[in-house]
Amino acid sequence: MANIENRKFITLDISGKNNLSWVLDVKLHLSAKKLRHTIDEDNAASNEEHATTLIFLRHHIDDGLKYEYLTVKNPLELWQNLNDRFEHLKAVVLPKALND
């Protein structure tokens, strides 16, 4: 239970149903921590910044996703893998939201 209290926002569901809000939350929190550049292409982040971001990302994803991407050691790679996995959901979620 303590683990849930330490999270800054809800974790990314393994189905990706909350992907859009999760992406926005992650970007906002990383910006606030001055770590947003760690998930950008060709960044010059330090090893410490990469580790901090990777810990943050892994802390905010479903356990199933955590185990699936266990060997990923770069936050940019994890970010891109998750984006590739759930990118198709934007086509489903956004048109519905625009029509509501």
Give the start-to-end residue ranges of the domains of the chain.
18-93
Average confidence (pLDDT) over 14-39: 93
Confidence class for position 8, pLDDT limits 50, 70, 90: confident
61, β-bridge pairs: 12
Residues in Cβ contact with 13 at an 8 Å cutoff, skipping those fewer than 6 apart: 19, 62
For the chain, how many residues are written? 100
Residue 60 backbone dihedrals phi, psi, to 5 degrees? -115, 25
Mean pLDDT of the chain: 86
Average confidence (pLDDT) over 65-87: 94
pLDDT at 5 over 80: no
pTM, rounded to two decimals: 0.81
Q: Distance (Å, rounded) from C-alpha 69 to C-alpha 91?
A: 24
Q: Is 30 helix (H, G, I), strand (E, B) or coil?
A: helix
